[in-house]
């Protein structure tokens, strides 16, 4: 699932730990891999991975696994705290 290198650590205010590829051409930021990332609408915290570059200013495509099932979604920031929001077609897989 991990698509981008994760070298430089970054901590978000909500306890999530983001990893960025680093280097002079890093346009992804601390979203390559996010550990302890809260999943919106649940109490779950999982490791989530970026699957591509930002498609809009407000979101970045991402994915995770819950009980062995692939969950597609996106990262978003709310007051500096990151969260993973699953796509509607995958919400039924969440507990």
Q: Rounded distance, CA 82 to CA 17, Å? A: 9
- Determine, yes or no, domain membership for 49: yes
- 2: in domain: no
Structural domain span for residue 89:
8-93
Whether 1 is in a domain gets the answer: no
Look up the pTM and report it.
0.89
How far apart, in Å, are the Cα atoms of 23 and each of 1, 20, 26, 60?
A: 22, 9, 6, 20
pLDDT in tens, 22-76: 888 888 889 999 999 999 989 999 999 999 988 787 889 999 999 999 999 999 9
Considering the domain boundaries, does residue 34 fall inside one? yes
Cα separation values, 92 from 12, 18, 70, 73, Å? 28, 26, 12, 13
Q: Which residue has the tokens 């969440």?
A: 94
Q: How confident is the model at residue 87 (pLDDT cuts 50, 70, 90)?
A: very high
| Domain contains 3 | no
Domain count of the fold of the chain: 1
């Amino acid at each position: 699932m991990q698509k981008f290198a994760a070298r430089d650590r970054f901590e978000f205010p909500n306890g999530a730990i983001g990893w960025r590829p680093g280097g002079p051409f890093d346009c992804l930021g601390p979203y390559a891999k996010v550990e302890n990332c809260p999943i919106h609408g649940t109490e779950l915290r999982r490791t989530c991975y970026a699957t591509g570059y930002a498609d809009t200013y407000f979101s970045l495509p991402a994915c995770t696994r819950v009980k062995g099932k692939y969950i597609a979604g996106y990262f978003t920031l709310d007051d500096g705290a990151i969260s993973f929001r699953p796509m509607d077609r995958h919400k039924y897989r969440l507990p």
